[in-house]
Amino acid sequence: FPEIKPYSSGYLAVEEPHEIYWEQSGNPDGVPVLYLHGGPGAGCSPQANRFFDPDYYRIILFDQRGSGRSTPPACLENNTTNDLIGDIEQLRNHFSIDRWHIFGGSWGSTLALSYAAEKPNKVLSMVLRGIFLMEQDGINWLLYHNKNIFPEAWEQFTSIIPEDRHDDLLEAYYERLTSEDKEIQMEAAINWSIYESACASLIPNYEIVTTDEQRAQALNISAIECHYFRNQLIRKEDSLLNKVAQFRHIPSIIVHGRYDMICPIQSAHRLNNAWPEADFIVVPDAGHSANEPAIRSRLIEATENMKTI
């Protein structure tokens, strides 16, 4: 859909020290839809509201704790999945919304499913893209096994880590991303960000990080992702797949790229096996990014379909 500007925006004070940025665009009297960004830590992109018909939807975006325009940036204090679920509810109450549609990709799909499991009566429908379950297998794939597909990107990713710690990359990166030395911290942030972006699309896209804004974004996403991978891992016994009964009735569409190398399709396949009532769309010519043309088309078809719910 065409580019649009928000008709209102602001900050909501949640648990200290956090204030989360929010904005609304589209139709103020429209059906509310909440966009949940990925990462965790990525923040909302400028095109996030373009997946929705602005004449029909009241489009609500927010940057999760420590992400995007929320403050303080890259803050790991009081930053957990449960905290974010609480923030979503605080936003819903702030906007006096009874129920809303939920749209989330990658980590946003994790958060959407986690929210739906806690507050199923507040969700009209879900569009989920690039399923990530925050389980050990998915984290291991990104940090270690992706070297079989992107060996040159993985070599760059591990180049700043001593070789004897290549089997402990998460802890090694966490030490650097939380270092008091800002140069060490930023070097790790840029390396992490470039590695992830190289793996995110069907045709590898090697981004560069040069501007202050890009460097800040790299630190937000790398520090918060590393923090969540280390501290918010979902154990098998607590898997979101074990909570499907709580949101099974919610009309939902799962969109996943066949060649997704950030969140391999196995997670989406497992979710579909546990939740066959949800529509499962495998996009044969796409990777992970929501901005790949084939993924984008399926997502817009999904939000158009949501109008019937």
- Residues annotated as part of the active site: 106, 260, 288
Locate 157 and state its tokens.
Answer: 């990713």
- Residue 196 amino acid letter: E
- Residue 115 amino acid letter: Y
Rg (CA), the chain: 18
Which pairs from 248-251 meet CB under 8 Å and 24+ separation? 248/275, 248/277, 249/120, 249/277, 250/116, 250/120, 250/123, 250/124, 250/125, 250/126, 251/124, 251/125, 251/126, 251/309
Give the span between the Cα atoms of 255 and 297, in whole angstroms: 10
- Alpha carbon distance, N-terminus to C-terminus of the chain: 20
Give the span between the Cα atoms of 43 and 187, in whole angstroms: 20
> CB-hemisphere CA count at 13 Å for 298?
25
